[in-house]
Each structure stands twice: as C-alpha cells, then as structure tokens.
Chain A
Amino acid sequence: MPDPTRRTRKDFPYLIQIPTRWSDNDMLGHVNNVLYYRYFEAVVVRFQMEEAGVDWINDAVSPQTVETLCRFHRPLSFPETVDAGLRVERIGNSSVTFAIALFGEDDETPAATGHFVHVFVDSDTLESQPIPAAMRGVFEKFAAP
C-alpha cells in the first residue's frame, strides 16, 4: 500500500471543503486534535447521505461508528478552509472502512491521515447486518483501484 502521507487530493474520489471556526483552535493556536475527528465525521456523514443514500433516522439498517484513527502530520489552523478527502479502503460483510485525509489550504500532501470504520447494524437491536446491496455498489465505486 502506498504511503498515505504522500497521497494528494487526486487520490480521494470524494472531497468536501470544511471552513475551520475560531473555536476549533486550542490554546496552542492550532486546531485541537479532537476536532480532526469532527472533520472526519463531516466527510463520512455527507458521503453516506449524498452518495450511499443513508437516512439516519428512518433506515432499519444503519451505520454505527466502531473505530476511528488519526495520524497528525502537520498543524491546521483557523481561519483556513480544510479539504477533507474520502476513499473506500475496505469493504467487509457488514463493515466499511473509509480512508480519510485532511489538507490545509497550502498542502499538497495531507496534514492528517486516518480511517473511520462503520458497521451496519439493525437500528433496533444494534446487531450487525450485511451491508445493503445498493450501498455496497456505491462503496465499490469509491474504492481504491
């Protein structure tokens, strides 16, 4: 697998822009580490709604977050706008792993890289369920070649 720290925006088929906010910076003057996961969540949630068609409220089978990880390579800082890129890294029976990268305004390569794992569960019992077929097709489209 290529070194994720050398990937560029072109390696991520789904990309959104996230404006940072004043309060994202902590007392050291950089975006606090916790907020990177807020950006991860933003790109994953948007992707799941717009591309995979997830309806968080009404779907009988819905995604739950089971694992997240972030490696911090360079600081981000308000007021820059962050590009958050997503690609599908792995598709399991009931889980999908998204590779995420965050780019600052002047960054060619990512300021942070990591992953976000969703497991599809029965919305009532929280038991894991196979990924719905239509969504699996979407994930395949956004998977690494």
Chain B
Amino acid sequence: MSKKSIETRDRYPHFLSIQTRWSDNDIYGHVNNVTYYSYFDTVVNSFLIDQGGLDIQTGGVIGVAVETMCEFNQPLAYPEVLEAGLRVGKLGHSSVRYEIGIFQEGATAAAAMGYFVHVFVDRATGRPAPIPDAIRSALERIKV
C-alpha cells in the first residue's frame, strides 16, 4: 500500500472531547474499528445541534449519511479520552462533506482520519432539501 500522509491537529478548526467506554474495546484490547464511526456520528451531530441549532426530534430536515470512510493509523484504547477534530471540506446546496480526525488527547498526529457525507432531506418526504441557514452558517465557520 502506498504511504499516506497523516492529518495533523492544526487542520481541524473544531474539536469535541470524547470519553471512550469499556465496551469500545474489542478482544484485541483496542477500540474496535466500527466504533470510530460512532465517534464520527457524535462529533458531527453534536456540532449541528450546538452550533447549527439542528432539532433532531422535530426539525423539518434530517441529515442522511450517504458515504463514510475511515483510515486507521494507530490503535486507541479505553480508558483514554479522545479528541475528535472536525472541518467542512465541501458545502453544497443540500449536502456537506465533513472531514474528521480522531486524536489521542493532546496528540499532533491523527490516530484515525476519514470523512462523512450528509445529505439533508425533508423529514416528511425524504427528498433532498436546502441546508437551513443557521446550519449553513455554522458549517461555513469550519469550512477549509
């Protein structure tokens, strides 16, 4: 496999601290690969709720995942506290591509890095809908 370049902390304008849990570790004693996507889900949605005012219970639009990817650089393990870095790589009419790095607390190099593409759809019809203004301006703030 080709040598890849590893993302660093300075490339992410927003961070969320994430406490790992006992059951995040698998039989190898490391955080299981699937769990990283749960961290992705958590940093993305908490940003949308806190900074964009997304109402996950009754809001008119919902975010639907259409593509996600993760590269695993080094193992992580409970009980460490992680930091999830977030930036917006691409912002469209109804879709957004988030780029995410998972870091050990204080580390410069990402332990894992990947992306998450959301399409916003109308909650009732399921059809793609424009990104609401409040969410869009929050996303603009972390766009690179």
Residues of A within 8 A of B (CB): 27-28, 32-35, 37-38, 41, 56-57, 64-72, 92, 94-95, 117, 119
Contact = CB atoms under 8 A, between A and B. Distances in A.
Contacts of A67: 69-72
Given A66-B71, A67-B72, A41 B34 contact: yes
Given A27-B56, A33-B65, A70-B68, A65 B41 contact: no
B1 interface: yes
B124 interface: no
A68 B66 contact: no
B41 A32 contact: yes
A69 B69 contact: yes
Contacts of B71: 66-67
Interface of B: 1, 27-28, 32-35, 37-38, 40-41, 56-57, 62, 64-72
Given A56-B27, A66-B72, A67-B71, A38 B34 contact: yes
B84 to A, nearest CB: 14
Contacts of B67: 69-72
Contacts of B32: 41
Q: Which 4 A-B pairs have the closest CB atoms?
A: A33-B65, A69-B69, A65-B33, A34-B37
Contact of A33 (B1, B35, B37, B72): B37
A62 B65 CA distance: 32
A117 B71 CA distance: 9
Contacts of A33: 37, 41, 65, 68
A66 B1 CA distance: 10
Contacts of A28: 62, 64
Contact of B41 (A34, A95, A117): A34
A94 B64 CA distance: 35
Contacts of B28: 56
The residue in B33, B64, B70 that gathers the most chain A C-beta atoms within 10 A of its C-beta is B33
B65 A37 contact: no
Contacts of B41: 32-34
Contact of A72 (B34, B35, B65): B65
A79 to B, nearest CB: 21
Given A28-B62, A37-B37, A41-B33, A68 B1 contact: no
